[in-house]
A and B are shown apart, each in its own frame.
Chain A
Amino acid sequence: MTATTVKISLKRTPQDYKWTKPPEWCPGCGHFGILQALLQVFAELDMDPTRTVLVSGIGCSSRLPHYVRTVSAHTIHGRAIPFAIGLKLANPSLEVMVVGGDGDLFAIGGNHILGAGRRNVDFTVLLMDNAVYGLTRGQAGPTLPLGMQPKALSKPNPHADLNPLLVALASGFTFIARAYSYDIKYTAKIIKEAVLHKGSAIVQIFSPCVTYNNIMTREWYEKRVYKLDNEPGWDPVVHDEKEDYEKRKRAIEKILDPDRFALGILYKNELVPTFEERYASMYDPNYPKMPPAIQPVEKDGRSVIDFYRLMADRLL
């Protein structure tokens, strides 16, 4: 998160971040909790709605930006991450956040997770994970375990599940966390940390689909989740580069646990330079001051580029 997003004025309330229309999700859908948590975080951080951009793909989850009073883009299935990266790199002073489902972010859009991690752009990804495709009526999502048969499936799932946080960690995300949507307060706490993180952050939020996932229900999750905060001595933060290997190893151990699902921050490393910082140091020192979206490109209709100097080595 960049310092410019904090505005000195009367602090906004969660209510101030509600858009003009109410959510259209099925009653009881896990996604409500995430929306609620997000509004709380925005209020707590007093985010400027005109500089905060929510980007989503397609899915029940991807509808979330329509319920929030910030700038947003509801794009197409799978492409929220590259869209958000383009937006952020064009104007790094914006606060950019992606929300989407397991299908959107890890099936059709999976390759972009790999691309994003390698760059470590300063943005946040909220994975609203229900292990099914809610919007298209309950088909298997990429996080649905092998052999499971939620009610829309005519046969057990022949695909094994992928582990999104392991993928994100392997790709280079520098903030990896997990939350559970029915625990709104805790979800808000984790989202807030993710937003404040400098670098690419991802939060997997278990968000039950009450209509189609009749197996991975509230009861199912609640039997398995626990909070890392209660683990004595748990410190996911890389304070020194030498610790990185150790911290990753410990994160992986938690992420791989098949029986108990750790909630909380699993890994956090702010020592890795963001893509914006890399760009400024490798390409253009003026980048932070004059990113693409802010640059004047013409004056009275005349291009500001000095063509003759630009092409000096080519003029005869």
Chain B
Amino acid sequence: MVEVSFLVGGPQGKGVETASIMLIYAVGSAGYYVYGRREFWSNIAGGRHSYFVGKVADRWPPGGIGNRVRLALFMDGHAVFEHIFHVERGGVAVYNTEEDGKTLESFTMISRTAVERLSEFFKRQGVEPTVKGAVEYMKSQGVKVVGLPFNKVLLDVGRKIGVTSPVMLSRFVNTLVVAVGASLLGLPVEYVERGVAFALGRKKEVIEQNKMVAAEVGKLVTERVETLTPRTPETKRIYWNGNEAVSVGKIVGGVRFISFYPITPSTDDPMFAERKLAYPVLPATEELKAMERVGAVVLQTEDELAAIAAAAGAAMAGARSATATSGPGMSLMAETISMLGMAELGVVLTLWSRAGPSTGLATRTGQHDLFYSLFIGHGEFPKIVLASGDIEEAFYDAIKAANWADKYQVPVIHLVDKDLSNTFAVMPAPDPYSVKVERPQPVVFQEEKNVNRYEITKDGLPVRYLPGISKAVYHVVSLEHDPEGDPDEDAEMVKKMYDKRMRKIETMMREIPDEDKVRYYGPANADTVIVSWGTTKPQILSALGRLPGVGYLQLRLLYPFPADLVRRHLEGRRTLFVEGNYTAQSSLLVRMYTGISADGVAVKYNGRPITADDVLEAYERFAKGEKRIELEWDL
């Protein structure tokens, strides 16, 4: 069994992302599965530290991300300081020896808080506050260090391939670290070349140069962390990130109108849909066969108020429509979400939640917006909030969200986060046709007719009329109304309409399958159950492997809340809620709906995701009697 955790770190905008993609794709093309996530300070190429931490394995899923990695590739001295505690005993760290003499203080892009903390630590430990000192400290902790003079190596290689300009040479640092990493992983150079070609895209000449760099540099390293012999994967695999998986899920799910206003970490979702235009279609009908491809409207609006309003308008026209944003944008969308409830229009809102109130931590993760998703929008109205646990689930959930918005004519908040958005994976390709696309058909008349769009129906669902298609005349309205869609405040009508709308909740609860409400893992008779929601899933599942007898309840449908199911799973068990916020929101939610109180909560709100090791730590402390466990690991 092969399982290697790794990290690539360096200055933001100087090729860390490219290096990570090269490495992921290289390992992937050798038949392995990979997954990991990108962490970064804003999106500015200003030299702040950014890194990718992940795992390679010969199976899917590769297991959770722990607190330390086995292989660390540091593109600069800054990275050494950032990750001084992140390499495991017996692991290997690669760094540039030319920076040995640089002091901690000289890296102005390291947070001053970190500089103070590390200085103090170095003083206590008697470590010299330089890159060399940091490296020596790592060695003292059992880390093998591979030091290379990066610039000298590149100069030598440059002479062989005919590149001498220092600026040009510095652009090869990413390839250098990847080649060193690949050598350490025992990966044949041809796979590195594939990674290079994939990551650099169309730039032919640059690709050739980088391939030569990779070949030359690879020869310099003889140590091995692992030997990744090329293997034949068991399934068709796909390389993508979370933003892309959800974006494609919506396209497969029939979404053809996408409006957005740029905001991290959501933008790559609509932008991927835009880049992929027009979409190839199956020859399902004569018309589609002739067209080969279909389009979608991807519209960058002037703000989020417009983004969701445009999606609402498109929904009224009959298109499956969606918008994507994060917390600040959703705040602007609140009033329209409420309108969708009253006017009965279905829109998918993918919430790529990030950390903190206000602008907060724009590029960091957190599960802070659970309550906000549930309660957003004034007044009472049915909506759906669905939280996905991992990248695969998020793809399928995006299709389901599109179905539900269309069918129930309600806002559907698909709750995902920064962690997932920047999760990159080489994984088994999903079965894109395993989720049915369920499209309610509109009523179509022969002759023009006035109709009641808000007829009082048993299941609460509106009859489907579409402008220009149904030959129907009707009014859509945000005020309380009569069946015709005109304002009506008659007390009896108000109650009737209210009841009718709220009946959708029962309908949805009846029709949505249990596996979309909660998922339970572990022994049926577990006496302790870890309860969580969202993207903590891979980490909890991984930790569960080391916690025999412990169960895990993953909450998926958060609104309407499947109280009975949850009660059935939790009654009589000890519960530990694990989640990425301060107030342990899901524990309060469960108590509100089921009366079951948490026996313990483990929370993390430092802008970093919960790791598999965090989960183990949480359980251990819980077992010792701690009731509130605050997790703090910073990887």
Within 8 A of B (CB), among A71-94: 71-76, 78-79, 81-91, 93-94
Which of B296-304, B533-541, B548-556 is near enough to bind chain A? Answer: B296-304
Q: Which chain B residues lie closer than 8 Å to A91 at the CB level?
A: 317-319, 467-468
Asked if residues A111 and B303 are in contact (CB atoms below 8 Å), the reply is yes
Asked if residues A302 and B429 are in contact (CB atoms below 8 Å), the reply is no
**How far apart sit A303 and B472, CA to CA, in the bound complex (Å)?**
28
- Say yes or no for A250: interface residue by CB 8 A criterion: no
- Say yes or no for A112: interface residue by CB 8 A criterion: yes
Within the complex, the shortest CB–CB distance from B284 to chain A, in Å, comes to 4
Asked if residues A87 and B343 are in contact (CB atoms below 8 Å), the reply is no
Asked if residues A86 and B294 are in contact (CB atoms below 8 Å), the reply is no
Of A65, A76, A290, A307, the residue contacting B294 (CB under 8 A) is A290
Asked if residues A69 and B473 are in contact (CB atoms below 8 Å), the reply is yes
Q: Which chain B residues lie closer than 8 Å to A112 at the CB level?
A: 302, 305-306
Given contacts A71-B467, A71-B473, A316-B28, contact A305 B318 (CB under 8 A): no
- Say yes or no for A70: interface residue by CB 8 A criterion: yes
Q: Which residue of A lies closest to B470 (CB)?
A: A50
Within the complex, the shortest CB–CB distance from A4 to chain B, in Å, comes to 9
Chain B interface, DSSP helix/strand/loop, else mixed? mixed
- Say yes or no for A301: interface residue by CB 8 A criterion: yes
Given contacts A50-B472, A82-B306, contact A89 B28 (CB under 8 A): no
- Say yes or no for B161: interface residue by CB 8 A criterion: no
Range, interface on chain A: 35 or more
Within 8 A of B (CB), among A19-45: 19-21
Within the complex, the shortest CB–CB distance from A299 to chain B, in Å, comes to 4
- Say yes or no for B117: interface residue by CB 8 A criterion: no
- Say yes or no for B93: interface residue by CB 8 A criterion: no
Asked if residues A306 and B281 are in contact (CB atoms below 8 Å), the reply is yes
Q: Which chain B residues lie closer than 8 Å to A21 at the CB level?
A: 486
**How far apart sit A21 and B256, CA to CA, in the bound complex (Å)?**
36
**How far apart sit A306 and B278, CA to CA, in the bound complex (Å)?**
11
- Say yes or no for B313: interface residue by CB 8 A criterion: yes
Of A286, A294, A299, A314, the residue contacting B240 (CB under 8 A) is A314
Q: Which residue of A lies closest to B475 (CB)?
A: A72
Asked if residues A90 and B432 are in contact (CB atoms below 8 Å), the reply is no
Q: Which residue of B lies closest to A53 (CB)?
A: B467
- Say yes or no for B285: interface residue by CB 8 A criterion: yes
Q: Which residue of B lies closest to A115 (CB)?
A: B302
- Say yes or no for A8: interface residue by CB 8 A criterion: no
Q: Which chain A residues lie closer than 8 Å to B470 at the CB level?
A: 50
Per-position 1/0 for B301-341, Cβ under 8 A of A: 11101110111111111111100000000000001100100
Of B280, B309, B478, the residue contacting A310 (CB under 8 A) is B280
Q: Which chain B residues lie closer than 8 Å to A74 at the CB level?
A: 475-479
- Say yes or no for B511: interface residue by CB 8 A criterion: no
Q: Which chain A residues lie closer than 8 Å to B248 at the CB level?
A: 307, 310-311
Given contacts A21-B486, A90-B313, A306-B281, contact A298 B254 (CB under 8 A): yes
**How far apart sit A63 and B478, CA to CA, in the bound complex (Å)?**
11
Of A55, A65, A297, A302, the residue contacting B320 (CB under 8 A) is A297
Asked if residues B467 and A279 are in contact (CB atoms below 8 Å), the reply is no
Within 8 A of B (CB), among A88-122: 88-91, 93-94, 111-112, 114-115
Q: Which chain A residues lie closer than 8 Å to B254 at the CB level?
A: 297-298, 303
Asked if residues B313 and A86 are in contact (CB atoms below 8 Å), the reply is yes
Within the complex, the shortest CB–CB distance from A53 to chain B, in Å, comes to 5
Of B236, B239, B252, B306, the residue contacting A79 (CB under 8 A) is B306
- Say yes or no for A146: interface residue by CB 8 A criterion: no
Per-position 1/0 for B361-399, Cβ under 8 A of A: 000000000000000000000000000000000000001
Given contacts A70-B473, A87-B317, A91-B317, contact A305 B279 (CB under 8 A): yes
- Say yes or no for A284: interface residue by CB 8 A criterion: yes
Asked if residues B310 and A86 are in contact (CB atoms below 8 Å), the reply is yes
Q: Which chain A residues lie closer than 8 Å to B238 at the CB level?
A: 311, 314-316
**How far apart sit A60 and B403, CA to CA, in the bound complex (Å)?**
36
Within the complex, the shortest CB–CB distance from A87 to chain B, in Å, comes to 4
Of A83, A279, A296, A309, the residue contacting B297 (CB under 8 A) is A279
Asked if residues B313 and A295 are in contact (CB atoms below 8 Å), the reply is no
Asked if residues B313 and A301 are in contact (CB atoms below 8 Å), the reply is no
Asked if residues A287 and B240 are in contact (CB atoms below 8 Å), the reply is no
Q: Which chain B residues lie closer than 8 Å to A298 at the CB level?
A: 254, 436-439
Q: Which chain A residues lie closer than 8 Å to B491 at the CB level?
A: none
- Say yes or no for A151: interface residue by CB 8 A criterion: no
- Say yes or no for B474: interface residue by CB 8 A criterion: yes
- Say yes or no for B130: interface residue by CB 8 A criterion: no
- Say yes or no for A245: interface residue by CB 8 A criterion: no
Asked if residues B280 and A291 are in contact (CB atoms below 8 Å), the reply is no
- Say yes or no for B466: interface residue by CB 8 A criterion: yes
Asked if residues B256 and A295 are in contact (CB atoms below 8 Å), the reply is yes
Given contacts A49-B473, A295-B256, A310-B276, contact A73 B306 (CB under 8 A): no
Q: Which chain A residues lie closer than 8 Å to B20 at the CB level?
A: none
Q: Which residue of B lies closest to A93 (CB)?
A: B468
- Say yes or no for A197: interface residue by CB 8 A criterion: no
Asked if residues A292 and B314 are in contact (CB atoms below 8 Å), the reply is yes
**How far apart sit A84 and B28, CA to CA, in the bound complex (Å)?**
46
- Say yes or no for B426: interface residue by CB 8 A criterion: yes
- Say yes or no for A268: interface residue by CB 8 A criterion: no
Asked if residues A75 and B277 are in contact (CB atoms below 8 Å), the reply is no
Asked if residues A316 and B285 are in contact (CB atoms below 8 Å), the reply is no
- Say yes or no for A160: interface residue by CB 8 A criterion: no
Q: Which chain B residues lie closer than 8 Å to A314 at the CB level?
A: 238-240, 244
Q: Which chain B residues lie closer than 8 Å to A49 at the CB level?
A: 448, 473
**How far apart sit A21 and B481, CA to CA, in the bound complex (Å)?**
13
Q: List 27 A-B contacts (CB under 8 A).
A: A19-B475, A49-B448, A49-B473, A66-B475, A71-B473, A73-B477, A74-B476, A74-B477, A75-B343, A76-B339, A82-B310, A114-B302, A279-B297, A286-B293, A292-B256, A292-B321, A296-B288, A297-B439, A298-B254, A298-B438, A302-B282, A304-B284, A304-B288, A307-B252, A310-B248, A311-B429, A316-B237
Q: Which 7 A-B pairs have the closest CB atoms?
A: A284-B295, A297-B254, A86-B313, A86-B310, A115-B302, A292-B319, A87-B313
B binding-site residues for A, Cβ under 8 Å: 28-29, 233, 236-240, 244, 248, 251-254, 256-257, 259, 276-282, 284-285, 287-288, 291, 293-299, 301-303, 305-307, 309-321, 335-336, 339, 343, 399, 426, 429, 432-433, 436-439, 448, 450, 466-479, 484, 486-487
Besides the contacts A89-B299, A303-B254, A305-B281, what 11 more A-B pairs have beta carbons closer than 8 Å?
A50-B471, A73-B343, A74-B479, A81-B306, A83-B316, A86-B257, A91-B318, A292-B319, A297-B320, A298-B436, A306-B282
